[in-house]
Amino acid sequence: MTTEKSTSLLRSKAYVPLVIIALLAAVPSVTSNSYVLHVLIMILFYAVLSEAWSILAGFAGQFSLGHAAFFGIGAYTSTLLFIWSGVSPWVGMFIGAGLAVVLSLVIGFLCFRLRGPFFSLVTIAFAETLRLLFLNWGPLTGGPVGLLVPLSGDSLANFQFLSRIPYYYTLMAITLIVIYVTYRIRNSQLGLRFMAIREDEDAAQSLGINIIRYKLIALAISVFFTALAGTFYAQYLLFLHPDAIMSLNFSIEIALPAIIGGMGTIWGPIIGSIILTPLAEFTRSIFGGGYAGVYLIIYGSILILTMMFLPNGITHAIAARSRSASRSLEAKP
Amino acid sequence: MNVLEARNVTKNYGHVTALDDVSLSIATSTILGLIGPNGSGKTTFVNLATGFSNLDGGDLLFNGHRINGRHPDEISRLGIARTFQETRVFRKMTVIENLLVASRDQKKARDLLTLVGLSRLEREYSGNLSYGQQKLLEFVRVLMMDPTVIFLDEPTAGIDPILTDGLLKWFKMLPDQGKTLIIVEHNMDVINAICERIVVLHHGRRIAEGTPLEIQQDRLVQDAYLGGA
Amino acid sequence: MDPTVFTQAVVNGILIGGLYVLISIGLTLIFGVMRIINFAHGDLMMVAMYVTYWLFTLYGIDPYLSLLATIPILFVIGSVIQRFLIDRVLTGPQESQLFLTLGVMLVVQNLALLFWKADYRAINTYYTGSVIRLGGVFISASKLTSFFVAVVLTALLYFFLTRTRTGKAMRATAQNREVSSLMGVDVRRVYVIAFGIGTACVGAAGTLLSTFYYISPTVGTTFTLMAFLAVVLGGMGSFTGALFGGLIVGLAESLGAVYVATQYRELVTFVLFILILLIKPSGLLGRSRV
C-alpha cells in the first residue's frame, strides 16, 4: 500500500534531477541569446534564495521577513573587500557569508523566543535598521548614490565575466549545492527535528531537542547561502543600493517562491521561482522603466490567491491530490 | 537510592497554590500511581518534574542531583521522559519519522513498532492514525529515548479495554528494564492493576501514600476522591 | 536644551500623536478581534489620502469635508477585503493570514504607483501653512484641527465599542470567539465590521494627515510600522494601549526630529521597536491579549 507508493516515488525521483541537470547544463550550447540566459539566471537566482529561506521557514517554521539584510551583508562585504584590498570576490564571498551567519546567530538567539508574527515583525525591524545604516553610511557603502563594483572586464580571479554563460554555470553550481543540502537535511534526523520543532515545540522539547540550538542551525545554513547569493548578485549586476537589495520588498521576493511553491519541500521554492520569475521579467520588459513595480502587483495577487486556495503551496496541493487519488484507487473492491 | 525525589515542592499560579509543600520519594524500577481529583496538582507536578514549569519553592532531585529550573530538553536528555494528556504526535510526519526524531536507531524503531503492532503503518502519516494508535505511537516514541523515568499523563484516557490491556502489559515490562513509571490516571482499575505504590494529591497536598489496598481503605482518600468503599 | 524648543516638540508630538492613536486603534481593533496582523494597514491609509487629494484637486472639496466620503469608502474597502479575502484564511495557519495581508500591501501599493506615480503631492488649501501662536509655541492650524477631529473620532469609537450592541459583540468576540458565537453573536459579521471600522479609522487618519503631510504611494509602509510600534508598546488588542502607544510614538518622533540628526530618525523608531519586542513584547502596560 503506502510502502509501495513510497519506494516507487523514490525510484522515479532519482533520475528526474539528473535529467534536469543535464538539460540545464546544455542550455548555453543551444542558445547564446543573452536575454534567455538572463532570465534563466534570474530563475536560478530566486530559486537559490528561496530554497535557502525555506530551510528556516519551511523546515523550522520561523518566517523571516528580513533576509534581505543578510543578502546585503554578503554583497557589500565581498565588494568592499575587493575595493579596499583587492580580495577576490570568490574569497570575499565566504567571508561575507561568515559575517552574515555570525550576525544572524546573534539576532536569532535574541529573537527566537518570540512567537510567530512577532518574530517576523522583529526581523523586519532588524532588516530596516541595517538598511538605514547602510543607506546613511556614505563613506562605507556609497550612501544614497549606491556602490559600483569596479569593472575588471573578463576576469575569473575577480569573479567578473563579459559573457553571461560563466555566470550561468556558477549559479547553477550554487543552486545544485543548495538543493543537495536541502535534500540531505530533508532525509536526515536534522530535518526531522526541524519539522518536529515546526509542528510542536513542546513535544519536540520532551524528546530532548534544544529548540533554540536547532533553530540557530537552520538559520545559519539559510543565511550562509543567502549571503553567497548576495555576492553573486554583486558580481553579476555590478551595482549595489540598500533600497534595492536590503528592502522589505526584496525580503518578500525572497520568500515568495517558497510560499507559492510549497515550503519545507525540496522542489517547492524552485517551482515557485520557475513560475514567478519569468512573469516578473516578462512584465518588466512590457511595461518598461516607468512602471517598475507592476510585477509586484502580479506577485501580490498570486500571493493572495495562493493563500486563499492553496495555502500550503503548489507542491503540497499536488501531493495531497495524488495521495487521495491513489487512496481512492485502493478503495475500489 | 531513590531515582526521583521531591522535597517541599511548591508551585503557585498567581493566587492559586497548585502544589503546597509536597514531598515524595520514588524508588527505582517501580510503577507509581499519582491520583487525585481534578485540580489537585498532578499535571503540575509532572510539568515541574519534566521542566515545563519552574518551581516556586523546594527541590527536585534526579538520582541525587538537583534538576530545578532545567529546560525540558535537558531533563529529557538526562533520562526523564513524559507523554502528554492530549496526544502530541507529529501529525505531518510519518509513524517511523516520529520515532526517528528521538533517536536515529532505525532497528530499535522498527522493533518497537513491531512490539505494539504498528509495523504495517510505518510510512503512514501519524495524523491519519486513530486516537488509540496515536497514543501507542506516543508511548513507543518516548521509549526511543531509553529513559530512566517515564511520566505517563492519563495514558489510557479514551482507549478501548482491549488496547488498555495491551498498554498495561507493556507498562509492566518496563521496571524489569530498570525503568520507573509514574502514571497519572483517573481510571482506578488501571492504577490498581499495575501500580505497586500510589500517591494521592488533593488541593496541592499529598494526603496519602501506600499500596493500592491501603489507599482503597484510606478514609481521607475516600472522602476526597474515591467516594464510598 | 531650550525650553521653548522642547515645549514645541512636545506639543507637536501630542498633535501628531492624536493621529497615530487613530491609526493604531484601527490596527489593534483588527488584531484584537481577529488576531490578524494587517500589513496593508498603512497602505489603505494611503488610499484614503489619495481619495482626499483627488476630491480636493478635481472638485475642490475641503479635506475635512471629504471625511464624509473617505470614512465610508474605506469602511467598505475594509469590509470587502475581510469578507472576500481574509475570511477564507482565518481557519488556516497564522502565517497564511500574515502573507495574505502582505499580498494586499504589495497590490495596493504598486497599483497606486502605477496609477499615480511616485511623485510627492500635497494638498494646498487656504489654511495650509497658517500657524497659530500660543505663548511661545507655534502650532500649525491643520495639525491642530486634525488633532481635534481625531480626538472626536476616537471618542465616538470608544462610545461605539462600549455602549452599542455591535460594539459589545465585537469586544465579546475579541475575548472569546466560541462563547460569543454560542451566545448568538454572528461572528463573521463582527469580523467584517471590525475590519471595516479598523480600515475606516486609518482612512480618517489619512484624510486628516493629508492636510499637512505629503502624499505618495510609499507613505503607507512607514505608518504601518509606526502603528505596529505603538500597538506593541501599548499592548496588542488593547484600546487604551493604542491610546498610550500612539501618543508615545508621536512624542518620540517629534522629540527625535528635534534632537536626533535627520538620517537617524527612522532608525530610532526601529531600534525602539526591537527593544520593546525583545524586552517586553506584552507592552509597557502589559495589557497584551496575545
Amino acid making up residue C251: L
Does A205 contact B101 at a Cβ distance shorter than 8 Å?
no
How far is A113 from chain B, CA to nearest CA, in Å?
Answer: 14
Using a CB-CB cut-off of 8 Å, the residues of chain B touching A195 are: 90, 92-93, 97
Q: Are C249 and C226 in contact (CB under 8 A)?
A: yes
Using a CB-CB cut-off of 8 Å, the residues of chain B touching A192 are: 93, 97, 100-101
| A contact set with C (CB within 8 A) | 63, 65, 110-111, 114-118, 120-122, 124-126, 128-129, 132-133, 135-136, 248-249, 252, 259, 291, 293-294, 296-297, 299-304, 307-308, 311
Does A207 contact B102 at a Cβ distance shorter than 8 Å?
yes
How far is B136 from chain A, CA to nearest CA, in Å?
Answer: 15
C220-262 pLDDT per residue, tens? 988 998 899 999 998 888 888 999 999 999 998 888 888 887 7
In angstroms, the CA B122 to CA B95 distance is 5
Does A120 contact C264 at a Cβ distance shorter than 8 Å?
no
Task: Tell the residue number behind the cell numbers 536644551, with chain if given.
Answer: C1
pLDDT of residue A3: 42
Q: Does C1 touch chain A (CB under 8 A)?
A: no
B187-217 pLDDT per residue, tens? 888 999 999 999 999 889 998 899 998 888 8
Phi, psi of A183 (to 5 degrees): -60, -45
B100-117 pLDDT per residue, tens? 999 999 999 999 999 998
| E strand or H helix at C140 | strand C137-140
Q: Is B56 exposed, middle or buried (0-12, 13-18, 19+ CB in 10 A)?
A: middle
pLDDT of residue A123: 94
Q: Are A227 and A74 in contact (CB under 8 A)?
A: yes
Phi, psi of A145 (to 5 degrees): -80, -25
Q: Looking at chain A, which subunits does it touch, using at least 3 CB pairs closer than 8 Å as the criterion?
A: B, C
Strand-pair partners of B7: B59
Nearest chain B residue to A196 by CA distance is B90
For the record, the C-alpha cell of A259 comes out as 510560499
Of C113, C228, C266, the CB nearest to A132: C266
Using a CB-CB cut-off of 8 Å, the residues of chain A touching B91 are: 199
Indicate the angle between helix axes A164-186 and A2-30, nearest 10 degrees.
170
In angstroms, the CA C286 to CA C127 distance is 41
pLDDT of residue C73: 96
How far is A216 from chain B, CA to nearest CA, in Å?
Answer: 16
- For residue A106, how many other CB atoms are within 10 A of its CB? 11
Q: Are A59 and A198 in contact (CB under 8 A)?
A: yes
Alpha helices in B38-160, H assignment, sequence order? 42-49, 72-78, 95-102, 106-116, 131-143
Using a CB-CB cut-off of 8 Å, the residues of chain A touching C113 are: 291, 293
ipTM of the complex: 0.90
Report the range of poorest mean pLDDT among A5-14, C107-116, C117-126: A5-14
- DSSP class of residue A55? I
Beta strands in chain B (DSSP E): 2-13, 16-27, 31-35, 57-62, 65-66, 80-82, 149-153, 180-184, 197-202, 205-210
pLDDT tens for chain A, 333 residues long, are 344 444 444 445 557 777 877 888 888 777 778 888 999 999 999 999 999 999 999 877 889 999 999 999 999 999 999 999 999 999 999 999 999 999 999 999 999 888 878 899 999 999 999 999 999 888 888 888 889 988 888 888 888 888 888 999 999 999 999 999 999 998 899 999 999 999 999 999 999 999 999 999 999 999 999 999 999 999 999 999 999 999 999 999 999 999 999 988 889 999 999 999 999 998 888 887 667 788 999 999 999 999 999 988 888 888 878 777 766 665 545
In angstroms, the CA C73 to CA C45 distance is 11
Of A249, A299, A307, the CB nearest to C89: A307
Of C102, C106, C277, the CB nearest to A114: C277
CATH class of B2-226: alpha beta
Using a CB-CB cut-off of 8 Å, the residues of chain B touching A209 are: 73, 101
Q: Looking at chain B, which subunits does it touch, using at least 3 CB pairs closer than 8 Å as the criterion?
A: A
Does C107 contact A297 at a Cβ distance shorter than 8 Å?
yes
Report the range of poorest mean pLDDT among B133-147, B214-228, C190-204: B214-228
Q: Are A59 and A185 in contact (CB under 8 A)?
A: yes
Using a CB-CB cut-off of 8 Å, the residues of chain A touching C273 are: 121-122, 125
Whole-number mean pLDDT of chain B?
A: 91
Assign 3-class secondary structure to A89-155: HHHHHHHHHHHHHHHHHHHHHHHCCCCHHHHHHHHHHHHHHHHHHHHHCHHHHCHHHCEECCCCCCE
Amino acid making up residue B46: V
- The closest of A130, A145, A170 to A250, measured between CA atoms, is A130
Of A189, A202, A208, the CB nearest to B88: A202
Does B92 contact A195 at a Cβ distance shorter than 8 Å?
yes
Q: Are B82 and A206 in contact (CB under 8 A)?
A: yes
Nearest chain A residue to C270 by CA distance is A125
Q: Do chains C and B touch (3 or more CB pairs under 8 A)?
A: no
B152-174 pLDDT per residue, tens? 999 998 888 888 998 999 999 99
Using a CB-CB cut-off of 8 Å, the residues of chain C touching A280 are: none
Query: Which residues make Cβ contacts (< 8 Å) with residue C142, sequence separation at least 6?
Result: C127, C128, C130, C211, C212
The stretch C278-288 carries a mean pLDDT of 76
Q: Does A324 touch chain B (CB under 8 A)?
A: no
% of chain B beyond a pLDDT of 90: 69
Using a CB-CB cut-off of 8 Å, the residues of chain C touching A133 are: 267
Whole-number mean pLDDT of chain C?
A: 89
CB contact residues (below 8 A), chain C span 195-254, against chain A: 221, 225, 228, 232
Task: Tell the residue number behind the cell numbers 526581523, with chain if given.
Answer: A123
User: What are the residue boundaries of the structural domains of chain A, listed by start?
Assistant: 15-246
The stretch C163-178 carries a mean pLDDT of 85
For the record, the C-alpha cell of A309 comes out as 486556495
Does C106 contact A252 at a Cβ distance shorter than 8 Å?
yes
Beta strands in chain A (DSSP E): 147-148, 239-240
Residue of B74, B84, B101, B139 to mutate for A, most A C-beta atoms under 10 A: B101
Q: Does A129 touch chain B (CB under 8 A)?
A: no
pLDDT of residue A5: 43
Q: Are B58 and B10 in contact (CB under 8 A)?
A: yes
Q: Are B55 and B218 in contact (CB under 8 A)?
A: no
